[in-house]
A and B are shown apart, each in its own frame.
Chain A
Amino acid sequence: MPSAENPGMPEVACKVFVPRDTTARSMGADDVAAAIAVEAARRGESVTVVRNGSRGLYWLEPMIEVASGGVRHAYGPVQGSDVPSLFDAGFLAAGEHGLGLGPTEEIPYLARQSRLTFARVGITDPLLLEDYRALGGYEGLAKAIRLSREEIVDIVTESGLRGRGGAAFPTGIKWRTVLNAEGSQKYVTCNADEGDSGTFADRMVMESDPFVVIEGMTIAGLAVGATMGYIYLRAEYPLAIRIMNEAIEIAEAAGLLGDDVMDSGQAFHLEVREAAGAYICGEETSMLESLEGKRGMIRYRPPLPAIKGLFGAPTIVNNVITLASVPIILAEGAEYYRDYGTGRSRGTLTVQLAGNIKRGGLVEIGFGRPLRELLEDFGGGTATGRPIRAVQAGGPLGAYIHPSQFDAPLDYEAFAEFGGMIGHGGLVVFDDTVDMGEQARFAMEFCAIESCGKCTPCRIGAVRGVEVIDRILSGVDESDNLLLLRDLCDTMVAGSLCALGGMAPFPVISVLDHFSEDLRARKIQ
């Protein structure tokens, strides 16, 4: 409002940040944004509502922020009905309120993280390019343009970055293979088919910092001489699709994508391709088939996609988080990134706390911290307040981890030692009311639904797996069928063509090993 009528009012409208990320909206952020606008108008206060990304403190969503004295202060979880009382409390000047959380950056959950890949996530409107640049965006690409292809690949290799989609393959080695492969046309593809339950890091970064994905892919294109990139983005993420498409248009208009990227004389074009709900298309060769417009049947390997990938051309296939980690590595140097982490797991892991957890959200942290610290110190135990009985790490193909294993450090190799998998970093927590027999059954059911059908162990094995578990649970030849189930798991692990059939038995085996009391005949059927 004009200061002529209210001399005490600031000239500049007060900014209130209300996240526009899927989870924040799923908890009512749109209502809150509307209520703030209405209440501000009613009171004659000059307020600008900024729809930022989410900080990833999801149990506090909708978490709104105000900038007061150059410091962001948070309130949450806010509902539309809380808005009048927030105004009464003077929240625009960081006034005290029951929902007050203090300065955002001092909230322990956030303060204890090492946000490198997620450095900008949640701070600004994700589609404001000038904000992205003001917060260090496009410094990595600017540096990459001054380097040779080999030098870019060297830096990524030296950083120790490994594929964050789950397989943890060294990114630099993959890029070098594509760089050295013969081909007049090469591609960079971003696997944004984040299908693992308990994971949302890809969605978050695409919704809350889309330019970092674009910048990372552009650097990858420069590194290997690829002029075309595709983001294979799941249809279950309509908002991420919308935001990524808008960000690509903005980047094109700014000369950051197109025939002459940042006046480098090099071309890089980018396109979002919408997936259609098949989990298997997160497997890289299946994703390539789908990008070619076909059924997402997996391919035999070799040849590797790096040699013969999309449309038969040398192709980088990297996960969203992998690509989003590249700009900071270029901008700050390989050592900066490598100094985080432990052993052969360098840099940061984006842990996603999900399921039955008190403080669910995104925790980016150097590798090597014990699982227990994530579950208890960050997560605060279960949402229901009951004891944790099991944690599934690494998505639907990951083992169920028993509480006796919670001291394991979050490190790819340490997890592999006990048959666990960090995968894409999702941790799904279950309390002691969980029926682990049902969870084992679901692992096989899910594999049966999602199998591409190319190989027999997966296509038939998963169906037989459900049947065998049903027989066990209904008390038919229990001990024989338990033996048969192990045998079937061995066959699927050893005989399947890809990770779906090859790993779907892992959760089942973990139930057999650690929760066998639940794989018994049920009293009531």
Chain B
Amino acid sequence: MSTQDSGNGTDASDALVREIAARHVARPGGLLPALHAVQDELGYVPPEAVPTLAEVFNFSRAEVHGVISFYHLFRTTPPGRKTLYLCRAEACQAMGARALEEHTRARLGIGFHETTADKRFSLEPIYCLGNCACSPAIMIDDFVYGCVTPNRLDALLEEG
């Protein structure tokens, strides 16, 4: 396995992934909670985590990779300091989400699944935050904002 990896950071994160995997391996269906735990700790699921998870769970690397890649909310690259989730679903569309999306892309200078050069924001699409009576909605990390106008979005980005 990849214990011969270079920096201390990698060793440390490998130990962390191994510890998380060990904690979840006995739970039925434990791989998904383990992946969440890894992402909660590291901000993403690094490619180096795949062999470790595969080893502990006794899956092939392909199986672990397959699970990670299936789900939209697992990411394999480090996120910016904050993640902005922009709802693209119908209720928000009815209240101007398409225009808000264009505004956000222009304002941040990035598209979906990208991170600003200064690493302040990652931008992700999301399909419904369940805030549909106060559309359009966005989420920054885990806080939802409703009735978001372009001006309000600018103000929130300033705060971030």
Query: Is A200 a contact of B71 with CB atoms below 8 Å?
Result: no
Binds B, one of A253-261, A356-364, A488-496: A356-364
Binds B, one of A141-149, A173-181, A234-242: A234-242
Q: Chain A's nearest CB lies how many Å from the CB of B25?
A: 10
The answer for the CA separation of A195 and B29 in the assembled complex, in Å, is 22
Q: Chain B's nearest CB lies how many Å from the CB of A109?
A: 12
Binds B, one of A63-71, A152-160, A292-300: A292-300
The tally of CB-CB contacts under 8 A between chains A and B is 158
Which residues of chain A have C-beta atoms less than 8 A from B94's C-beta? 354-356, 428-431, 434
Q: A82-120 toward B: CB 8 Å interface, digit per residue (1/0)?
A: 000000000000000000000000000000000000000
Q: Chain B's nearest CB lies how many Å from the CB of A24?
A: 9
Q: A236-B126, A295-B66 in contact; A26/B74 too (CB < 8 A)?
A: no
A72 interface contact, C-beta 8 A? no
Name which residue of chain A comes closest to B148, CB basis. Answer: A26
A209-267: which have CB < 8 Å to B? 235-239
B43-86: which have CB < 8 Å to A? 66-67, 70-74, 85
Q: Which of B28, B71, B73 is the one whose CB lies under 8 Å from A292?
A: B28
Which residues of chain B have C-beta atoms less than 8 A from A360's C-beta? 132-134
Query: Is B95 a contact of A383 with CB atoms below 8 Å?
Result: yes
Which residues of chain B have C-beta atoms less than 8 A from A295's C-beta? 66-67, 70
Q: A273-B33, A276-B74, A293-B30 in contact; A354/B132 too (CB < 8 A)?
A: yes
Q: B25-41 toward A: CB 8 Å interface, digit per residue (1/0)?
A: 00011111101100000
Which residues of chain A have C-beta atoms less than 8 A from B31's C-beta? 293-294
Query: Is B67 a contact of A61 with CB atoms below 8 Å?
Result: no
B153 interface contact, C-beta 8 A? no
Which residues of chain A have C-beta atoms less than 8 A from B127's C-beta? 195, 197, 279, 396, 446, 449-450
A426 interface contact, C-beta 8 A? yes
A406 interface contact, C-beta 8 A? no
Q: Which of A26, A237, A434 is the one whose CB lies under 8 Å from B146?
A: A26
Query: Is B134 a contact of A27 with CB atoms below 8 Å?
Result: yes
Name which residue of chain A comes closest to B129, CB basis. Answer: A236
Q: Chain A's nearest CB lies how many Å from the CB of B136?
A: 10
The answer for the CA separation of A202 and B129 in the assembled complex, in Å, is 12
Which residues of chain B have C-beta atoms less than 8 A from A58's C-beta? 133-134
Q: B81-106 toward A: CB 8 Å interface, digit per residue (1/0)?
A: 00001000111111100100000000
Interface size counted on chain A using CB atoms at 8 A: 62
The answer for the CA separation of A355 and B130 in the assembled complex, in Å, is 11
A125 interface contact, C-beta 8 A? no
A198 interface contact, C-beta 8 A? yes
The answer for the CA separation of A426 and B89 in the assembled complex, in Å, is 13
The answer for the CA separation of A361 and B70 in the assembled complex, in Å, is 33
Query: Is B32 a contact of A237 with CB atoms below 8 Å?
Result: no
The answer for the CA separation of A198 and B137 in the assembled complex, in Å, is 12
The answer for the CA separation of A346 and B128 in the assembled complex, in Å, is 29
Q: A425-454 toward B: CB 8 Å interface, digit per residue (1/0)?
A: 010111100100011001000100110100
Q: A450-466 toward B: CB 8 Å interface, digit per residue (1/0)?
A: 10100000000000000
Query: Is B128 a contact of A236 with CB atoms below 8 Å?
Result: yes
A338 interface contact, C-beta 8 A? no
Q: Chain B's nearest CB lies how many Å from the CB of A312?
A: 11
Q: List 30 A-B contacts (CB under 8 A).
A: A22-B130, A23-B131, A27-B147, A61-B134, A198-B89, A198-B90, A199-B130, A202-B130, A235-B73, A236-B128, A239-B142, A276-B32, A276-B36, A276-B74, A277-B73, A279-B127, A291-B29, A293-B28, A293-B32, A296-B70, A297-B70, A352-B132, A353-B133, A356-B95, A383-B95, A396-B90, A429-B94, A446-B89, A446-B127, A449-B127
Interface residues, chain A, CB within 8 Å of chain B?
A: 22-23, 25-27, 58-59, 61, 194-200, 202-203, 235-239, 273-279, 290-297, 311, 352-357, 360-361, 383, 392, 396, 426, 428-431, 434, 438-439, 442, 446, 449-450, 452
Q: Given A197-B90, A198-B89, A311-B28, 5 more contacts at CB 8 Å?
A: A195-B128, A277-B126, A290-B32, A357-B133, A438-B98
